[in-house]
Structure 1
Amino acid sequence: MLFADIVTASIRMAATGSRKAKIGIIAELLTAAERTELPAVVGFLAGQPTQGRIGTGWRTLAELEVPAATGPRLSVDAVDVALDELAGIAGPGSAAVRGSVLRDLFGQATPDEQEFLFRLVTGELRQGALEGVMLDAIATAAGVPGESVRRAFMLSGRLPATAAAALTGGSDALGEFRLELGRPIRPMLAASAESLSAAIAELGSIVVEYKLDGARIQVHRAGSEVHVYTRTLREITEHVGELVRLVRELPCRSVVLDGETLALTDAGRPRPFQETMSRFGSTRAEQVSQLLLRPYFFDCLHLDGQDLLDTPLAERRSALREVAAEQLIPSTTDPAAATELLEQALAEGHEGVVVKDAGAPYAAGRRGSAWLKVKPTHTVDLVVLAAEWGHGRRTGYLSNLHLGARDPDGGPPIMVGKTFKGLTDELLAWQTEALQEIERHREEWVVWVRPELVVEIELDGVQVSRRYPGGIALRFARVLRYRPDKDAAEADTIDTLRTLRAE
């Protein structure tokens, strides 16, 4: 297959807002691809090459200035081989070698292919919102149920592997994916509820748990080997020795636990979220000793050789109590005690509670109605699209943020408002540096960035507005914090925001 076929499909998808049309375009391309090409084709379309991050920055590519080819001649395999070579370059003289490989690759590409390659290599092409569309397209191309594809992806965490299995072996191949110790699965997510009473009424038989102001973790243990992962499936084992030691001492041979971790003050209250997240990238003994992490587990997905994903939550909680009772998150199964638990969680400095269907299986990677979060204030996770240079006291800092909601149909984020409220001096300094590192281009006072950073916004709701493309605007929005534990694929959708619209 020519690389130009992928580029053309990408251009066609960008030109339509129809989810059905996008699915059809991708399915057509997947059907036409050779089976050996499938991992690369899927990776390129999703902006997630199988090589991972290539290690080549925006400035390196911007300085190439290589004349484009007059016609398409690059194959998918040729691009994949070049990216393999780029990913493996390291050591003294690597910059020169990388430049040579890039000039050769870009020299064989047409203008459209060069633009696509630029965005692919720098990570700018990555569209987390395309993930759901891609899964539906794989199901369509392979003629298999969408649920089979989603489950295989949940267990593998890899779109290319899921597509290859579906299109080469159908439902039987997809059914071979299993929970594998040491390979993280995508976490189950919670939707928002209007109120505690509404959540309880919707779910019936329930479990109500603290919603902590911490960071999501998933731990795997096989014998003495322990791995710890974030909600984005990034491994942080080497940074969280106290969690590794704790899990290694649990009374079991093998286990997979889902939960949250956070650093606490001497009074037992949660430290700021950023302090907890700072531990995920630090091995400095001083910081580790000052910010010990406390785990709270709320689910058990595997125990001593038995996978529990498809069992009801009530049974998974029994397994959890058996193996990690001392680390169990505060909870109740009594609806009459739910209000008291919510008040207790808020009094201790946490965000609220999560109400869960006690009979539901673990639906990883999906934000369904089986888990409903209840918080006293409206908060949404949005993507930063741009920022404006500040004035007065904020001169020299990127201040006013342009915010976008995720397009559930795979398009780019949809702008829904701006805000400069809630930004501390420390956060201003940090975002000024961080946003310039992912800069796409700038105008007189606006710096446009790749849509990667997720920020948690508190708001009073949304209102109908013609000012922004989504037809709504945020009301009294203020920044609570950045969410480095989330990527753009986990931002709230425009549909979610529309449910907050004042009538």
Structure 2
Amino acid sequence: MKRFARLFTEIDQTTKTSVKTTALSAYFTQAPDADKLWCIALFSGRRPKRAVTTTNLREWAAERAGIPLWLLEESYPIVGDLAETIALVLPPPTQASDHSLSHWINVLRGLHEVPLVDRKPRILDAWDQLDTTERFLFNKLITGGFRIGVSRKLMTHALAQATKQDEAVLAHKLMGGWTPETTSFHALVEADDPAADQSRPYPFYLAYQLDDAPETLGAPEDWQAEWKWDGIRGQLILRDQAHHVWSRGEELMTDRFPEFARAADFLPPGTVLDGEILAWDDAQPMPFSALQPRIGRKTVPKKLLREAPVILLAYDLLEDKGEDMRHQPLATRRARLDAILRDLPGDAPVQASPTVSFDTWVDLAQTRAKARDHRAEGLMLKRRDSAYLSGRKKGDWWKWKLDPLTVDAVMIYAQQGHGRRANLFTDFTFAVWQGNELIPFTKAYSGLTDKEFDEITAWVRKNTQQRFGPVRQVRPEHVFEIAFEGIQPSPRHKSGLALRFPRMSRWRNDKSPQEANTLDDLRALLAAYG
């Protein structure tokens, strides 16, 4: 654990990618294999299952520190992180130990096998053997909120340096449904068998947002355009007489989309497609809100299957009859994809995502303006000679999204943030008018500059009307432009509506609260774009 704590400290104290890479590479060279495996797991989102609630941790930490619970609760928003708050209030350890990272994770995993009453002494004993940084990391592992400022890409790059392997090959090895309980470091990283798991997806190729004019990309004929769909990016894999569906977030979602079982009737083994999973009404995509109820389910009831059937609109062919196609130019991959899908029946669960024809960038801009008519978010631009790479690479793939929808709304509640924003009010609730009443309809916490957050924080402290725990009701004076990607009905909200990806795009100091939008304005947007 001390070695892992040193790694965390080295990473946490720098913003330089090269320093983080060097620290990680050294760790992957020196640490025991079990610790290396768990380090890879943690940096790729595979955390131990939570065994203790945060309520229990608060109570046990306050008791161990000899302070009232209210004092710990008051300290939490100031520190901005519960794991760090607990690590700071606990008294110094009375024991010394040098157990490994994997040892302490096994301690946490063992908590699931004992009653709650026996979990407390084990947590207290662990706290009494760890220093402040080690406690912080241990607490992070307990709560399941383990996140460090290292991307999966950076971690893979460092691991490739340490093991002298090709980074792209290694990235593929780390994909799929493995856990430290189901594999070893040797089997996952060192063994020369990247196809051992027939369900394993390929690393997804991600696009950058195009902020400049498309003319900066060069000749239009060098580019392929297609719609940017508002669904779930996924890979459909057919290998070894079975099919698998993976999301971009590396979540195995096969059981949530039973429609794709029929794909094996139309497509040969050794086929891997990249595309967008969409709820489909026989002619066009349904709103994302129709797909959303299926995302969190392990089994899908027949009613939902009828109401929101899905298809995969495929836009890339990654594997054809077992051949890895990713190194081939996009034009070649697309031609083979179209040939495979051309004669599929209309009720097949897979279709080719149509490309968008254009001769000039002006033509394409006019087409992009009509994206919402096609239930799309904008366009994707892909260089025709591009290979299918891993991760986000700037140059060959771009997303050219529509400008967001916007409304002007009044801030009515404010709440402090976390981490470096713990002393600022950054989380706000916004309302629009219904007659003479302000109706709350969304929350947002991003989009302002640090200077603006400082300014609004000072104002909130002087203009609080009521307090509801950490939430402050403020005088309805300030108007903000709220940008969002979509709108849908929601019976859970008083307004009857919910926004997709809301954020503050402007502080409208030029507008009075009376000039904010109305609930009828939002309903009109729902009718037009919902």
**TM-score when scaled to structure 2?**
0.65
Note closer, same or farther for the CA distance 1:177–1:234 as it changes in structure 2 (3 Å cut): same
1:233 pairs with 2:250: yes
Matching residue of 2:279: 263
1:64 pairs with 2:60: yes
The correspondence of residues 324-403 of structure 1 with structure 2, limited to 5 A, is 324-325=341-342, 327-332=351-356, 335-336=359-360, 338=364, 342=368, 345-377=371-403, 387-388=427-428, 400-403=443-446
Residues 42-65 of structure 1 deviation map (CA, whole Å, 9 limit, x = unaligned): 445x3845x643454333333333
Q: Tell me, in whole angstroms, the C-alpha distance in 1 between the residues paired with 2:56 and 2:128.
A: 15
- One-letter amino acid matched to 1:277: Q
Note closer, same or farther for the CA distance 1:85–1:273 as it changes in structure 2 (3 Å cut): same
Alpha-carbon contact 2:207-2:397 (below 8 Å) kept:
yes
Alpha-carbon contact 2:281-2:309 (below 8 Å) kept:
no
1:149 pairs with 2:170: no
1:278 pairs with 2:276: no
**1:425: Cα distance to partner?**
10
User: Does the residue aligned with 1:252 lie in a helix, a strand or coil?
Assistant: coil
Residues 436-472 of structure 1 deviation map (CA, whole Å, 9 limit, x = unaligned): xxxxxxxxxxxxxxxxxx973578799xxxxxxxxxx
Note closer, same or farther for the CA distance 1:397–1:459 as it changes in structure 2 (3 Å cut): closer
Note closer, same or farther for the CA distance 1:185–1:68 as it changes in structure 2 (3 Å cut): farther
Residue 14 (structure 1) aligned to one of 12, 28, 47: 12
Residue 155 (structure 2) aligned to one of 125, 130, 134: 134
**1:300: Cα distance to partner?**
1.2
- One-letter amino acid matched to 1:138: L
Q: Tell me, in whole angstroms, the C-alpha distance in 2 between the residues paired with 1:302 and 1:105.
A: 48
User: Does the residue aligned with 1:300 lie in a helix, a strand or coil?
Assistant: strand
User: Does the residue aligned with 2:317 lie in a helix, a strand or coil?
Assistant: strand
**1:243: Cα distance to partner?**
2.8
Q: Tell me, in whole angstroms, the C-alpha distance in 1 between the residues paired with 2:320 and 2:151.
A: 34
Residues 289-344 of structure 1 deviation map (CA, whole Å, 9 limit, x = unaligned): 11111321001111222221222212222331233235000104664574575356
Q: Tell me, in whole angstroms, the C-alpha distance in 2 between the residues paired with 1:415 and 1:299.
A: 44
Q: Tell me, in whole angstroms, the C-alpha distance in 1 between the residues paired with 2:304 and 2:272.
A: 27
Note closer, same or farther for the CA distance 1:341–1:250 as it changes in structure 2 (3 Å cut): farther
Q: Tell me, in whole angstroms, the C-alpha distance in 2 between the residues paired with 1:350 and 1:40.
A: 39
Residues 193-246 of structure 1 deviation map (CA, whole Å, 9 limit, x = unaligned): 24674265267522211111222121111254221121101122112122332x
Note closer, same or farther for the CA distance 1:366–1:151 as it changes in structure 2 (3 Å cut): farther
Q: Tell me, in whole angstroms, the C-alpha distance in 1 between the residues paired with 2:291 and 2:488.
A: 20
RMSD: 4.5
User: Does the residue aligned with 1:363 lie in a helix, a strand or coil?
Assistant: coil
How many residue pairs get matched? 417
**TM-score when scaled to structure 1?**
0.68
User: Does the residue aligned with 2:295 lie in a helix, a strand or coil?
Assistant: helix
Matching residue of 2:265: 249
Residues 361-417 of structure 1 deviation map (CA, whole Å, 9 limit, x = unaligned): 1113224321111223169xxxx9662466898999796532289xxxxxxxx9997
Matching residue of 1:438: none
User: Does the residue aligned with 1:228 lie in a helix, a strand or coil?
Assistant: strand
The correspondence of residues 28-427 of structure 1 with structure 2, limited to 5 A, is 28-43=26-41, 46=43, 48=45, 52-65=48-61, 69-70=93-94, 72-76=96-100, 77-86=102-111, 89=112, 94-96=115-117, 98-99=119-120, 101-127=122-148, 129-142=150-163, 144=164, 148-157=166-175, 164=185, 176-178=193-195, 180-194=197-211, 197-198=214-215, 201=218, 205-245=222-262, 247-264=263-280, 268-282=283-297, 283-325=300-342, 327-332=351-356, 335-336=359-360, 338=364, 342=368, 345-377=371-403, 387-388=427-428, 400-403=443-446, 421=482
**1:261: Cα distance to partner?**
1.9
Q: Tell me, in whole angstroms, the C-alpha distance in 2 between the residues paired with 1:264 and 1:415.
A: 45
User: Does the residue aligned with 2:204 lie in a helix, a strand or coil?
Assistant: coil
Q: Tell me, in whole angstroms, the C-alpha distance in 2 between the residues paired with 1:167 and 1:236.
A: 22
Note closer, same or farther for the CA distance 1:32–1:296 as it changes in structure 2 (3 Å cut): same
- One-letter amino acid matched to 1:421: I
The percentage of counterpart residues that share the same residue type is 19
Q: Which runs of 5+ in 2 are unaligned?
A: 65-90, 345-350, 406-416, 419-425, 457-479, 508-521, 523-530
Note closer, same or farther for the CA distance 1:195–1:130 as it changes in structure 2 (3 Å cut): closer
Alpha-carbon contact 1:141-1:167 (below 8 Å) kept:
no
**1:115: Cα distance to partner?**
1.7
User: Does the residue aligned with 2:236 lie in a helix, a strand or coil?
Assistant: strand
Q: Which runs of 5+ in 1 are unaligned?
A: 406-413, 432-453, 463-479, 481-503
Question: Greater shift after overlay, 229-238 or 278-287?
Answer: 278-287
Q: Tell me, in whole angstroms, the C-alpha distance in 2 between the residues paired with 1:415 and 1:185.
A: 42
Note closer, same or farther for the CA distance 1:182–1:163 as it changes in structure 2 (3 Å cut): closer
**1:37: Cα distance to partner?**
3.1
